[in-house]
Every structure is written in C-alpha cells, then in structure tokens.
Structure 1
Amino acid sequence: MGFDRSIKIAPSILSADFANFGAECEAIEAQGADWVHVDVMDGHFVPNITFGPATCAAIRPHIKGVMDVHLMIAPVDPYIEGFAKAGADIITAHVEAGPHIHRTLQAIRGAGAKAGVALNPGTPATAIDTLLDMVDLVCVMTVNPGFGGQKFIHSQVDKVRDLRAMIGDRPIHIEIDGGVDPTTAPLVAAAGADVLVAGSAVFRGGSVTDPTPYGENIRAIRAAAGR
C-alpha cells in the first residue's frame, strides 16, 4: 500500500446491504472504490452497534484492496489483535476512546496494521500534534459518530486545513468521515483531505443486482473533489 495524496473514495459498508456484505464489497470495488471502510461501533463509545472482527474476517476474501477499519469503541486495546488477524490494513482508534492513545497506536503498528487516529468534531487538531510521527492516517469526523446519513458539520473544514499544515511532508493520509457527497467533497479536498468516506452517498440508488449507480456516485464524488 504505497502512499500518495490522490483522492481515494472509501465507501462505508454501514450503508450496504447487511445480508450481502461479500457481494457488496466486490460490487463497490468493481465500480471504482479505492478502499472499503468498515465502521465498528460498540453501543458504548457511540450509540449504535455494528460489526466485530468475525465480520471483517468474513468479508476480507471479498476485498482486493484496502480494508480500512474504523474502531468507534472503548476500550480499544483488547480488540486490536483480533481486527489485525481479521485482515484489517488500517486500524483507526479515537483519541477520545481512552487515556493512552500513544500506547494504542503502538499496539496497532505492532499488530502489523497501519495506524490511524480519529478526532470527533469537538476535539481540536492540536490533540494529536505529539502523535504525528506514529500515525499513517488522521480521520476527521465531520459528523458526530454513531449513525450514517447525518449532516456535514462545516466547522471541521478549518480543522482539516490545520491538520494539513501540521502534517507537512509526513506520509499521513487525512480521511473525512461523515456527510461526504459531491457538495462537501470539494470543500475538504481543497483543505487537504485525500481519503473520502461516503456511505449513503455511494450506495444510494443501487444494489448488488444493480450496482451501476454505485459507480456513478463514486465518480460524481471524485469529480467534485477535483483531484
């Protein structure tokens, strides 16, 4: 998984057909998705429950590219090894999820995955300024985590711009999660983001039996992002 700052579209399977995850992963990749984003929620750190390592292991054979696993759970550390063994290429933990994010990031890299750190809308970019030399990705939540289909929080665009300046030449992706569509994609791309997570905006109008709209939606977001 080489590093570049080209726009990457990472559809969130939170918006996919839960009864057809394998086929949905294959369909979005065939339609142009760069990464597959897996939103893991525990009903504790966020008010929803989704998937665990077993689901990741089940869909891994159906994903040719990057499986991007976003842990919205607390505690995080006991589950890192399980998600790494399930085939996660990137494991992202929230800076707010526990008192020892530095240790968590060490554990993720130690398990053989790329390390990501996520910031909720109320958390400033400066919360991770001492962590930048040990992360591969920073995920900026542009909605409050827990549910798909929420409205984009525009104040986060300035946070993306701040992070891009902080990162400088480091090979760190800036990922946007929440409310991404052709209207908001150009705002965050211009601010410096390169990975765009989109759920309903990708899956809207399509299905496993008719995946063409997935491709149309992915191309529309990529075109809007402009790079």
Structure 2
Amino acid sequence: MQKLLCPSMMCADFSNLEQEVHNLDEAGFEIFHMDIMDGHFVPNFGMGLQDFELVRKSTKKLVDVHLMIQDPGRYVDQFADLGADIIYVHVEADQQITRTLGRIREKGKKVGIAINPGTSVESIKVLLPLVDYIMVMTVNPGFAGQKYLDFVDTKMDELLTLSTQYGYQLMVDGAISPEKIEKLSRKGVTGFVLGTSALFGKERSYREIYNNLKNL
C-alpha cells in the first residue's frame, strides 16, 4: 500500500503559511494534517478555523483535521463543511463516540479515530468496523518536539493484525523520524504525520525530503 506522508502544519512557518502549503504540495506530500486543540483536552492551543480555511483553499490535496478537543462531535459539521477530507476524533474525549463517527460518515467524509499512548486496543475494538483510519499517538498529544514512546509499538502490532479483518489504514503521529518511518512502514503502517523530527526546520528542500522518505 502507498506510503502516506502528512505534513503537520502546526510545525510549518506561519509567517508565510500559504507559501508553505504550495511548496509542500509541489514536493508531493499526500495529506495536510491540521491539529485543532482547545487547551482543555490537551494542555495547549493549536491551529484555528482561519488556519484551516487557508490551508484548505491553498491545495487540492487531501486535508485532514485532528480534533484534540473535548466533545469533538460538536464540531464535525463545521469542519466537514469547511472541506476536511478526513476527520479524526479522540475516543477519550467523546462520550457519544459512535454517534460522532456516524455523523462524520453522514457528511461524506473519511472516518478516523485517534488514540493516546495509554489507550488500549481492547477499548476501541468495537469501533474498528466503523473507521477508515486509526491514528496512534506515539507521544502524549499537545506539543511538538517530544520523545517517541516505544511501548506503543506493541499496540501498533495488534492494530496491524486487526487491520486485515477490518480494512482500516494505520497512521502514526508523534516524533516520527526517518528511522521510525523505515521501521514502521516495513511492519505495515501506512501513514506518517511529519513534524520537526523528519520534515520541518531542515536544510534540505521539501522535495528532497519527500523523495528520501518515500524511498525508505
């Protein structure tokens, strides 16, 4: 399956965000990843509606939205109507998770769930038939620049085994270095959210980085 490389736009240069989108688009990256945080579910504030709208209008590529917010179901319609292609919600933040996942599907969007490092596979097993993507957080969500938590690899192995039955794609987010991309893609992980560990703040061009990561 094709490797999906997804720039985390929270890490981009906000002094010229539109140009950043253009450069990443031209380099070949497949999905633009947008983190929305509320300062409540995670102890930080992330990108806002205007940032999302700017990225969405600046590319024809897929744009996902990662709702790191309490009660994400309240915002599904809003982001779907703004043009999100994939909507991730956290199972830990939603008391009516099946209703929320159903609403994403009703809006014609791809359904994603995100799970924190401490969330077990067993606790989400009932949801697996309902989703297109599962995003495993390999750091505690909310801040860039954290260290990869190796214990989540066991959880990824479980989810990869189950993916053959349920047909979802497995994504990873958090401290994803080129070494991790090489290792995890060999296991069968499909998608990689890229921040400062592999993409942003480097001396090489985005195109060079994209080509290198694709060939790992």
Do both share a fold (TM > 0.5)? yes
Q: Does 1:123 align with 2:119?
A: yes
In the other structure, the counterpart of 1:218 is 210
Aligned residue runs from structure 1 range 1-227, under 5 A: 5-200=1-196, 201-205=198-202, 213-224=205-216
In terms of mean alpha carbon deviation, does 181-190 or 93-102 score higher? 181-190
Cα deviation digits, residues 81-139 of structure 1 (max 9, x gap): 11111110000001101222111111111222111001100011122211111101000
Q: TM-score, normalised by structure 1?
A: 0.89
Contact 2:65 2:86 in 1 (8 A): yes
RMSD over equivalenced CA pairs, Å: 1.4
Contact map agreement 2:10 2:34 (CA 8 A) in 1: yes
Structure 2, gaps ≥5 residues long: none
Structure 2 SS opposite 1:117: strand
Matched letter for residue 114 of structure 2:
A
Give the Cα separation in 1 of the matches to 2:167 and 2:215.
24
Distance apart, 1:169 and its partner CA:
4.4
Query: Secondary structure of 2:6's match?
Result: strand
Distance in 1 (alpha carbons) for counterparts of 2:112 and 2:181: 21
CA distance in 1, matches of 2:64, 2:146: 20
Across the two proteins, how many residue pairs are aligned to each other? 215
Report how far residue 43 of structure 1 moved: 0.7
- Whether the 8 Å contact between 2:138 and 2:148 is mirrored in structure 1 is yes
Pairwise CA distance, 1:53: 2.9
Partners of 1:148 and 1:44 in 2: how far apart? 17
| 3-state secondary structure, aligned to 1:184 | helix
Q: Secondary structure at the match of 2:199?
A: helix
CA distance in 2, matches of 1:46, 1:150: 14
The 1-side partners of 2:83 and 2:183 are apart by 32
Using a 3 Å threshold, how does the CA distance of structure 1 residues 26 and 171 change in structure 2: closer, same or farther?
Answer: farther
Q: Provide structure 1 residue ranges, at least 5 long, that are not aligned to the other structure.
A: 207-211
Aligned structure 1 segments of 4 or more residues deviating by more than 3 angstroms: none
Cα offsets for 1:17-68 (capped at 9, x unmatched): 1132221111111112111111111111111111233321222121121101
What's the secondary structure of 1:168's corresponding residue? Answer: helix
